[in-house]
Structure 1
Amino acid sequence: MIELRFINPYKVNKSPLQLSYQNNDMDVMGNDAALVMRFTKPHAINTSPLTMRFGDDTGPVDPTLPILQANIGIESSLSWLNPPLITQVKNLAWQTQSVKTEFETAFSNAELVPVAFGFDWQTTALVTVQSSVKWGNSGYVSNVIQMPYKIITAIEYNEKDFNWLTQLDVEHTEFKQHWNSSELLKTARELHWHIKPLLESRELVIHYGETDKEYICYWRNHPFKGYVNLEFTAPATTHNGRLVMRFNNPDKVCYWGLPGGLVRGDDDVPTIDRKIPIEPQLRNTYIMQPTINCVRVSDDLKILINSVNYSISRGQFSATCNIKFCSRIDFERALGHELKISLNGYDFYVICEQPSTSNRFANASYSASCRSRFALLSNPYARATNYANPTAKTLAGIMSDILVNTGWSLDNKMIDYPIPTGAFTYTNLTPAAALLSVAKSVGAILDINDATKTVSVVPAWPVMPWDTANAICDVILNDSIILEHSTSQTISQEHNAVFVRGEQQGVACKIKRAGTLGDQFANDVVDTLITHNQAARQRGTCELANSGNKQNTTIRTKLLDDLPPIRPGMLVGITYTDSVFKATCDSMTINASISDQGAITVSQTIQVISNV
């Protein structure tokens, strides 16, 4: 098939050649006639309006574009107009220690000259570089280069600032360069700290005290050595494109330890322990004036009561209480309301829930069962809901989501760790039950402060029962304030190792008691929140602490100005002559009553657990 295409209208050009004859006074038809050729304008080469193309029946076929072959995962396309290329070398310098990156170009055209780029960084001086690339002899060629050689992520740990140390010798410098054309569009430079002190008038604050362990992360082998080869296998054509270079992620290393400055803090460096135990004074005579007071929180209306029994133990999210009222009027005023009970100056907040009456001849009694204020987040006051973490969160973030819009605040004393997206879910649970479930998953209990509406998540065993000898007690009791004392023992199998596992996005860890062979295994523990080694360590430690023979000691003591209520989870020390017996508080009960003669009695009874 032949296709004829006219690209401009046809026109008849007048010839620039004119012919004339001269006879030199002779006849025109004679033999001596001469021919004269005269050109009246310059000769012009006209372009033919006819274009001939050969192809198939479907239409014209454009030439096949050259195929660019990428090497080692590099997609690239460069624009140029006419060969030959001009050799160009640019040196970019930043950071310390020489790392070389080479760009090699090779074209099939014999006239092309390879182009090499040398990148040399990590030097003593910081140099800001702006560059544009031009090659070819037909003008400027567009070129786009992207170098995402460092993934920009959120900083997990950043400690600052020692900006009173200034001036040169950069210990650590991080450069971020982005460009989208031949001209440098943006260069960001971050200097973290300096050495060679040149002191200025800045405020220096030094913090001291106990330091919590954290995850400390740093980049290893960054930037790393490498090179890039660009191979061109087809002749140069005019084509717009871009060059994309991809680099591997830097190697990131994290370890669990004490945070420090320029030098890593060793894990075995002791912290300053300023824990001071509560220890009532030893006296010959104790003069007591117990008090009982009960008011309605809504309007401070006084409620008369005969007795109150307030108790709480580990594993509960709210305390239970039983109140006996003086009269039916007081009973009706308190029913369904929130009450504040003051015993020897210590306040307890309860909700009067379940009424109970008892009648006999010439005598009637009115009482009610109560729960502490945190019960407002449980049935029947709060509705059960479903939850699934939509984004990656931490343990504290999960618990904060449970308490959102409840008026309660969180005080997390457990080691925090990340939880992947969708790893934690619960169904048909109230906020109080859900928070208790999360705490049990990591071997913790809830310590509720009803006055300030604060929920503290603390370890069920702050001190391991086999390691109480070197621990500092929270409360120390002497025999002069102990009213009653009794002991009993429970026998159970002792374990020194346990396997703790997560689920789809969890981890599997073997937790072993230090100093043992780790050959006596407890039942495996499986929980959705075991998504990190720290979660497995905390839960496994609690499981090992619960095993073994235990000694249960019940102690009834007083409630004094210098002896507040002993809360579950506290380490209690009991002095006998020159020795101290240490155990963990498991439950606490406060009893207060008024006799028929008006005598007031207030005491607290605790149950402590220790290893035998």
Structure 2
Amino acid sequence: MIELRFKQRYSPEIITPPIKLRFNIDHVEPELKSIGVDFQLNWLSQELIIQSKDLYWHNQKVGTEINIASTREKLATALFNFDWQYTALITAQTSAVWGNSGYVSNVIKMPYKIITAIEYNEKDFNWLTQLSVEHTEFKQLWNSSELLKTVRELHWHVKPLLESRELVIHYGETDKEYICYWRNHPFKGYVNLEFTAAATSQNGRLVMRFNNPDKICYWGLPGGLVRGDDDVPTIDRKIPIEPQIRNTYIMQPTINCVRVFDDVKILISSVNYSVSRSQFSATANLKFCSRIDLERALDQELKISINGYDFYVICEQPSTSKRFANSSYSASCRGRFALLSAPYARATNYANPTAKTLAGIMSDILVNTGWSLDNKMIDYPIPTGAFSYTNLTPAAALLSVAKSVGAMLDIDNANKTVSVIPSWPVMPWDTENAICDVILNDSIILEHNTSQTISQEHNAIFVRGEQQGVACKIKRAGTLGDQFANDVVDTLITHNQAARQRGTCELANSGKKQNTTIRTKLLDDLPPIRPGMLVGVTYSNSTYKATCDSMDISASINNSGAITVSQTIKVISNV
């Protein structure tokens, strides 16, 4: 402790302070350049007292001097100095200047969730806004006494000129996703507390637990409160294929067959190409003009062009027929997708190790095969380990998955694309409200044969999964749902959408059907009619719509060189 005693009264003539304190501090030379800092603090209290603090920096040593002056009546000066001396004065100054008087452009973007390509911009909003903000002033006033006052001002001078503001709303199709919402309770909850004893001091606590309300999720299009896709009517914006009605049809049929890898021409005398909804690959029969053509085509991929339409097949099983002065060579073929079946692909086992979707499982089947997937079915989640198969080739496994959800395979052999589409793109009881894919009339129908099959009609069915599946009752809209079909159990029925698609297909297969076989032409404006297409038929004063079940194209060359080409389709409709 230091005790200071003053024995005489302060006199104005005495300007030297009674006590001087000096401290010597060893100084270490800094490596960087020196910085001079000047700090000054002034205040007023009764009589004016000035106190200053100076900082100086020098090389040799640091001298610190504290001067204390006391006064009671008149003005006295008190100094608080740090003397750091250096040969050159270095001043560091930091300043922040904030101002802007130019143009300011604000753009507000409202991004929506867009997965597909943007079709067009629905609306553009442009407007002009003139803002004139001179300054913004922020003051802090601090009054602790009459003589003590601190004022802080922050001047902010901005004068923006907002030229335009653009709001763009993008409109386009979006993918389906899970939409979840909390179900409202039928009545408000309440808590009833009853106290039957006097209050006592306790350290315990009262715990109250409330269960969350039920959460409902469904698969549909986002963007509103109205549910979609449950019973969406058939709305088509397509233009049907309708050949022109002519008095005379001039035909110039052509047949051409080449080997795919080297374009070597193969001479054939006839070809028959067929495909149906239940197959994963088309089948074909070729008749060659010579034994050399058969040897060139055997075990090779062939491209057959009939009237300008290309078909890809694999020549597999040859056959030879010989008799006196006559020999014929032919072979049975399958479509290009048969490369994913036996004997070209080995049978494997599969089980989903993680949670996937329907499209994800089908993509796993086609991985490293060179084929791509185009899924047209409603996708849904499949839990871990819910799906598996054993000893199946990729083609057979993909067909099995498609049939589990009521779908079929539509193969594009030219582009190596597999489309998974519904077996009934249009329900047989809803064909009147749908637009046809192809329209056939009397002038191009060469043959028209009909037959009927009788089976029991159903309007409801129970579709169930297995350990991790769901159980759903699928009912045809507008019916009582009292005529049940046999239950369907499948491992892939793990979601309501899976049950809905499979059950709809089963109900469409039931009932009395009319099978019609139509032989028609293959023209420039009448391409091959693919299975699954909705065909409108006008023949012998009758008009109806039916779903194509199979297609067969035949072409042949007779001994005189005349070429005959026709296509035969089998369509199914409800009676």
- TM-score relative to the length of structure 1: 0.62
Residue 423 (1) aligns with residue 386 (2) = yes
CA contact (8 A) 1:484 1:557 kept: yes
Cα distance in 2 for partners of 1:269, 1:359 equals 60
Deviations 1:22-52 (A, max 9, x none): xxxxxxxxxxxxxxxxxxxxxxxxxxxxxxx
Residue 596 (1) aligns with residue 573 (2) = no
Cα distance in 1 for partners of 2:172, 2:202 equals 60
CA contact (8 A) 1:506 1:532 kept: yes
Change in Cα spacing, 1:290 to 1:498, as seen in structure 2 (3 Å) is: same
1:80-159 matches, within 5 Å, as: 159=113
Aligned pair partner of 1:586 in 516, 540, 549: 549
Cα distance in 1 for partners of 2:542, 2:375 equals 34
1:506 paired residue number: 469
Cα distance in 2 for partners of 1:269, 1:324 equals 48
1:412 paired residue number: 375
2:419 paired residue number: 456
1:193-204 matches, within 5 Å, as: 200-201=165-166, 203-204=168-169
CA contact (8 A) 2:290 2:328 kept: yes
Cα distance in 2 for partners of 1:534, 1:467 equals 20
Residue 493 (1) aligns with residue 456 (2) = yes
Cα distance in 2 for partners of 1:232, 1:415 equals 59
Cα distance in 1 for partners of 2:483, 2:213 equals 42
CA contact (8 A) 1:164 1:199 kept: no
Residue 260 (1) aligns with residue 223 (2) = yes
Deviations 1:323-348 (A, max 9, x none): 00001110100001000000000000
Cα distance in 1 for partners of 2:375, 2:460 equals 27
1:37-56 matches, within 5 Å, as: none
2:171 paired residue number: 206
Residue 321 (1) aligns with residue 275 (2) = no
1:288-327 matches, within 5 Å, as: 288-327=251-290
Report the alpha carbon displacement of residue 220 of structure 1 after superposing the two structures with TM. 7.6
1:446 paired residue number: 409
1:216 paired residue number: 179
Identity across matched positions, percent: 83
Change in Cα spacing, 1:159 to 1:205, as seen in structure 2 (3 Å) is: closer
Change in Cα spacing, 1:372 to 1:250, as seen in structure 2 (3 Å) is: same
Report the alpha carbon displacement of residue 606 of structure 1 after superposing the two structures with TM. 0.2
Cα distance in 2 for partners of 1:560, 1:367 equals 27
1:319 partner letter: A
2:333 paired residue number: 370
Cα distance in 2 for partners of 1:403, 1:344 equals 32
2:349 paired residue number: 386
Report the alpha carbon displacement of residue 464 of structure 1 after superposing the two structures with TM. 1.1
- Kindly report the root-mean-square deviation, in angstroms, between the aligned alpha carbons of the 2 structures: 3.1
SS in 1 for 2:428: coil
Change in Cα spacing, 1:519 to 1:356, as seen in structure 2 (3 Å) is: same
Cα distance in 2 for partners of 1:381, 1:414 equals 28
SS in 2 for 1:466: helix
CA contact (8 A) 2:273 2:553 kept: yes
Cα distance in 2 for partners of 1:302, 1:434 equals 35
1:332 paired residue number: 295
Cα distance in 1 for partners of 2:350, 2:492 equals 14
Cα distance in 2 for partners of 1:212, 1:566 equals 29
Deviations 1:288-342 (A, max 9, x none): 1000000000100000000000001111000000000001110100001000000
CA contact (8 A) 1:165 1:199 kept: no
1:482 paired residue number: 445
1:517 paired residue number: 480
Deviations 1:81-125 (A, max 9, x none): xxxxxxxxxxxxxxxxxxxxxxxxxxxxxxxxxxxxxxxxxxxxx
2:571 paired residue number: 608
Change in Cα spacing, 1:264 to 1:517, as seen in structure 2 (3 Å) is: closer
Report the alpha carbon displacement of residue 259 of structure 1 after superposing the two structures with TM. 2.4
Report the alpha carbon displacement of residue 216 of structure 1 after superposing the two structures with TM. 1.8
1:398 paired residue number: 361
Cα distance in 2 for partners of 1:586, 1:266 equals 29
Please identify, of 475-484 and 250-259, the stretch whose mean Cα deviation from structure 2 is larger. 250-259
Cα distance in 2 for partners of 1:160, 1:570 equals 30
Cα distance in 2 for partners of 1:270, 1:595 equals 49
SS in 2 for 1:201: strand
Cα distance in 2 for partners of 1:272, 1:515 equals 19
Unaligned 5+ segments in structure 2 are 1-111, 116-120, 127-162, 191-200
Change in Cα spacing, 1:512 to 1:608, as seen in structure 2 (3 Å) is: same
Cα distance in 1 for partners of 2:520, 2:290 equals 30
Cα distance in 2 for partners of 1:217, 1:448 equals 36
Change in Cα spacing, 1:279 to 1:504, as seen in structure 2 (3 Å) is: same
Residue 350 (1) aligns with residue 316 (2) = no
Cα distance in 2 for partners of 1:490, 1:589 equals 21
Change in Cα spacing, 1:510 to 1:301, as seen in structure 2 (3 Å) is: same
Report the alpha carbon displacement of residue 207 of structure 1 after superposing the two structures with TM. 2.1
Report the alpha carbon displacement of residue 164 of structure 1 after superposing the two structures with TM. 9.2
Cα distance in 1 for partners of 2:114, 2:550 equals 43
CA contact (8 A) 2:219 2:497 kept: no
Cα distance in 2 for partners of 1:550, 1:489 equals 6
CA contact (8 A) 2:125 2:167 kept: no
Report the alpha carbon displacement of residue 281 of structure 1 after superposing the two structures with TM. 1.0
Cα distance in 1 for partners of 2:481, 2:211 equals 41
- TM-score relative to the length of structure 2: 0.66
1:3 paired residue number: none
Cα distance in 2 for partners of 1:271, 1:491 equals 27
CA contact (8 A) 2:240 2:439 kept: yes
Deviations 1:142-185 (A, max 9, x none): xxxxxxxxxxxxxxxx826999999xxxxxxxxxxxxxxxxxxx
Aligned pair partner of 2:241 in 278, 297, 305: 278
2:531 paired residue number: 568
2:321 partner letter: S
1:20 paired residue number: none
Cα distance in 2 for partners of 1:427, 1:232 equals 65
Report the alpha carbon displacement of residue 272 of structure 1 after superposing the two structures with TM. 6.8
CA contact (8 A) 2:125 2:168 kept: no
SS in 2 for 1:516: coil
Change in Cα spacing, 1:322 to 1:266, as seen in structure 2 (3 Å) is: closer
